[in-house]
Structures are given as structure tokens and as C-alpha cells.
Chains A and B, each alone.
Chain A
Amino acid sequence: MGYFLFFLLAALCVGSVLGMIISKNQAYNALFLIVAFASLGGLFGLLEAPFIAVVQIIIYAGAIMVLFIFVIMMINIRTGIPPEKKKWTLYLSLGLAVVLIIELIVAIKAAFTLPVSTETLEAGPVSLGRLLFTKYLYPFEITSILIIAALVGAIVLVKKKEKV
């Protein structure tokens, strides 16, 4: 049963990302991505992380994708602006691709020797929240500064637009 669910959700996720690559329409791309994120939420649930699964569905498939669709509706363009061509990006991307492939091969080889623990992990919101407010208190506070910075940045950018 678990394996069946895993392969179903994995196929759904990879298939919808492939659909996003193939499709040209931005609105369809966003809808494909919602399917991918929802199936990833299912996978997180399969990995005994129920809280992260719920957060994934609410924030990613809900909030972030709604924002995407909102923007797509506001600026209604099909093709987008073509980026300028640069020669050096080709060589840079080739080099990066080689590095990425080597890294991934190493990672996959290491993944096969992972230990398999049979105990169940207690990953409810209570234990997660306790960890978040004790061990990770400072990162948590820094995140709030980051969000304020993003908000202020967005407001500043909008103001500039009105002047121009």
C-alpha cells in the first residue's frame, strides 16, 4: 500500500513538472505546479511529517500559487519578454551542469547506504514548535526580520513605479 501510494504520488509529481516544462501557457504552468506541490504534500505525509505536509498544502499549493495566478491574471501576456542572449552564459551553464551531474552521482551513491530506522518519529506540531522556540529561536527571529525586509522592499518598489 505504501509503495503503491509512493509511486502514484511520485509519478503525479514528476509528470506535472514535465507538463510545466512542455506547456507554453503560464496559467496552465501554475495549475500543473499546484498538482506537483499537492502530491509533494502527500509524500511528506508518507514520510511521517504530518505538520509539514499540511503546511506544504496550505502555504505552497494555497498561498504562493494563488499569488502566482494573481500575477498571471494581472499581466496577461502569453509569451513573456524574451531575455537578451549572452554568449558566456552557455559556457557557464555547461560548467555548472558538469559539476551538478558529478554532485548528484555522489549523492545517489551515498543515498543507497542510508540507515533505515524502524522506530516512528514523533513529529507533531507540539514537538516541532518546542524545537522551533528553543533551539532555533534566533533563526526564527531572523526570519521575521527577513519578512519585514521583503515587505518594505515590495512597498518601496511599488512607490518607485508610481513616480515613473
Chain B
Amino acid sequence: MIPANYFMILSVILFVLGAVAFFIKRDLITMFMSVEVMLNAANLAFIALTRSAHSLDGQVIVFFIITVAAAEQKKTIKTEDIKLMKG
């Protein structure tokens, strides 16, 4: 069984990479993609802690995070469409 801190460190690395990508990248679509990477890093931390805290609550929260990410997706894509049409 792999200890949870391995997953925590992987999650930290992913979060930092997502943040770096968000600031380095110029185009909006890739910036949204790096936001998704950061959300997934948070999900990984939640799941790792769910196992070591021995409760299912973290997995439910991850479920909500995925739902919110999917909802956000719709709106951001439409917004971007408009910005590109105007610009």
C-alpha cells in the first residue's frame, strides 16, 4: 500500500505546474486547461486524504468538484467565443 504522502507530493507538483502554466501561457483555452490541472491536483489530494482519514466524505467533495468543473466549462467556452468574435 502506497503511503498517502507520495500522493500529496504528486498533487503539490501538479498544482504548481498548473499555476505555472496559467501564468506562462498566452492563449485563453490553454489557461482554462491549466485551471483544470489545478482542480485535478486538489482532487488527488482529497482522494489521498480520504483513504488515510478513513471516511468517504472526501470522495463526495471530489464528485462536486468535477460537477462544478463541468458546469464552469460550458460558460467559459461560450464567453471565449464572444470575446473572439468581438476582438
**A interface residue numbers (CB < 8 A to B):** 2-3, 6, 10, 13-14, 17-18, 20-21, 26, 29-30, 33, 36-37, 40, 43-44, 46-49, 51-52, 55-56, 59-60, 63-64, 67-68, 71-72, 74-75, 77, 79-83, 93, 100, 104, 107-108, 111-112, 114-119, 121, 123, 127-128, 131-132, 135-136, 139, 143, 146-147, 149-151, 153-154, 157-158, 160-161, 164
Contact = CB atoms under 8 A, between A and B. Distances in A.
Contact of B26 (A75, A80, A100, A157): A80
Contact of B79 (A36, A111, A157): A157
B26 A21 contact: no
Interface centre among A17, A44, A79 (most CB of B within 10 A): A17
Contacts of A123: 50, 56, 59
Given A13-B14, A17-B14, A121-B50, A6 B73 contact: no
Top 3 nearest A-B pairs by Cβ distance? A80-B27, A111-B8, A150-B71
* Main SS at interface, chain A: helix
Given A48-B51, A131-B60, A116 B70 contact: no
Nearest to B12: A104
Contacts of A37: 36, 40
Contacts of A13: 10, 14
Interface string B46-87: 011111101011011011101111111111011111111111
Nearest to A144: B67
Contacts of B62: 49, 52
Given A47-B7, A127-B56, 15 more contacts: A17-B21, A30-B29, A47-B50, A49-B51, A79-B27, A80-B27, A80-B29, A81-B87, A83-B26, A114-B52, A117-B52, A143-B68, A143-B71, A150-B75, A157-B75
A2 B2 contact: yes
